[in-house]
Amino acid sequence: MKRLYILGLLISFSYADLSVKQIEQMIEKIHLKREGVSLEALEQTKEPFIHVKEEDNKTVVKIPEKEEAMKLTLHAIMAGKAYINDGWKKVGDHVLGYRIEYIGKKGIVLRNGNTIKTLFLNKSKKNLIMLEERE
């Protein structure tokens, strides 16, 4: 432990020889506005990941499309069922190739092989249907 402490001190002393001018130059570089990638360029980029499936000893490469992700829409949850894409579904049902693994109070978990998606309700409380029992 004593050696690590000494090593830490030596490293900090080796960086202590920076002049004020060098430090000010570093700070100026940090404060310079950097240009990033435009939103248009980001929207046009393709997903860099590919999904590999093995079917009948053949490797099938599936590249997910943007449209596929947009098709899954969670509208409501009630009594352990979820209203997804204009239909009520329960745990174990399939939607667009995904199997419903879990239905919670405010969201669901879908699975397709190694791909897991979570869908949540909007923050609006009108999507959450609550039942009260009256005696």
* Residue 27: domain span: 2-31
Residue 47 covered by a domain: no
Report pLDDT digits (tens) over 75-122: 888 888 999 887 899 999 988 888 999 998 889 999 988 888 998 887
Q: Are residues 79 and 26 in the same domain?
A: no
In a domain, 107, yes or no: yes
Residues 70 and 122 in one domain: yes
pLDDT, one tens digit per residue, over 37-70 is 777 777 777 766 666 666 666 655 555 555 444 5
In a domain, 45, yes or no: no
- Count of structural domains within the chain: 2
pLDDT, residue 92, reads 92
- Report the C-alpha gap between 99 and 108 in whole angstroms: 11
Does residue 80 belong to any structural domain of this protein?
yes
> pLDDT value at position 63?
54
At 65 the three-state DSSP class reads: coil
Residue 59 domain-assigned (yes or no): no
Query: Rounded to the nearest 5°, which phi and psi values hold at 102?
Result: -155, 140
List the beta strands (DSSP E) in the chain: 51-55, 58-62, 74-78, 81-84, 88-89, 94-95, 98-103, 107-112, 115-120
